[in-house]
Copies of this chain bind each other. A is one copy, B any other.
Amino acid sequence: MGERWSLLIIRHALFRGVTRFGDFQRSLGVARNILAARLDRFVEEGLMERRPVAAARGPYHDYVLTDMGRELLPVVVALTHWGDRWAAPGDPPVVFRHADCGGAVHQQAVCQDCGQPVAIHAVQAHPTAHEPSFRRPT
């Protein structure tokens, strides 16, 4: 929530296929120490993996999204829309489009049973046995 560089780095990796340290750095204008710390953390958390580049090009490696990282796409789309609305209204840095028809893509809550779109106020969260129990305020 609000970790701006992390979102931008993951977005560049997801949608532009950026994998090189230098390309992230130039493209985003992020300080090298910040970028290095973020990429290290992504690798540690399993979102990216280091992949060696052909030796002839030097002792480099690429930072490549794992499946775990790639599946952040719906989170990135939702967070981008939220940011467009609240953090930088009027200045969306990116728009998401449907490859088939070019239409704008939005995230929508959909019911798997009735197939209807679900408005925010009609989404209910039900805790399972794995959620700490909640005591109502007295």
Task: Using CB atoms and an 8 Å cutoff, list the residues of chain A in contact with chain B.
Answer: 1-3, 6-7, 10-12, 14-16, 18, 20, 23, 26-29, 45-47, 68, 70-75, 77-79, 81-82, 85-86, 88, 91-114, 116-118, 120-128, 130-135, 137
Contact = CB atoms under 8 A, between A and B. Distances in A.
A117 B133 CA distance: 36
Q: What is the copy number of this chain in the assembly?
A: 2
Determine the main DSSP class of A at the interface with B: mixed
A134 B27 contact: yes
A75 B135 CA distance: 25
A116 B85 CA distance: 24
B15 A125 contact: yes
25 contacts: A1-B45, A1-B47, A23-B135, A26-B135, A27-B132, A73-B120, A75-B79, A77-B109, A78-B78, A93-B128, A93-B130, A95-B126, A97-B126, A98-B114, A99-B124, A100-B114, A101-B111, A101-B114, A105-B112, A105-B118, A107-B107, A107-B108, A108-B108, A108-B110, A110-B117
